[in-house]
């Protein structure tokens, strides 16, 4: 768990360990696969999955697809130093924060 919180705190210095734990629990077994534990910003299907499954279903965002895509792309740019693949836990945390949905987790 400490690796996840350290990575999230690169982008959100005041990140809540409790919230990171909730994201890890939500992702569950998917985190055991290296491929599934990462978000590929170059994969359009992957980003659509983030929008539909994370932003809309889990977080309950009512923003338009274009607004959500813009936020997701902002996170891709912000996390560009991690290369083509970003930690899913960190990515989801930052997206939730940008949507002001951390309290909803």
Q: Kindly calculate the radius of gyration of the chain based on its CA atoms and give it in whole angstroms.
A: 12
- Name the region of 28 (left: φ>0; alpha: ψ -120 to 50; beta: rest): left
> How many distinct structural domains can be found in the chain?
1
pLDDT tens string 43-90: 999 999 999 999 999 999 999 999 999 999 999 999 998 776 799 999
Which CA distances in Å does 47 have to 6, 15, 39, 74? 24, 23, 8, 12
Structure tokens at 4: 């996840």
Q: Which two tokens mark 8?
A: 């999230």
3-50 confidence digits (pLDDT tens) = 999 999 999 999 999 999 999 999 999 899 998 999 999 999 999 999
Is the pTM of the predicted complex or chain greater than 0.85? yes
Can you give the residue range of the structural domain that contains 51?
2-104
Here the CATH number for the domain that contains residue 75 is 1.10.238.120
């Amino acid at each position: 768990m400490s690796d996840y919180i350290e990575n999230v705190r690169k982008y959100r210095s005041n990140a809540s360990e409790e919230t990171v734990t909730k994201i890890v629990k939500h992702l569950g077994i998917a985190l055991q696969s290296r491929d599934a534990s990462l978000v590929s910003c170059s994969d359009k299907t992957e980003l659509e999955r983030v929008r539909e499954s994370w932003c809309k279903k889990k977080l309950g965002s009512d923003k338009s697809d274009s607004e959500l895509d813009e936020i997701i792309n902002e996170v891709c740019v912000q996390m560009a130093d991690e290369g083509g693949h970003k930690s899913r836990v960190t990515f989801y945390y930052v997206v939730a924060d940008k949507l002001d949905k951390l309290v909803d987790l």
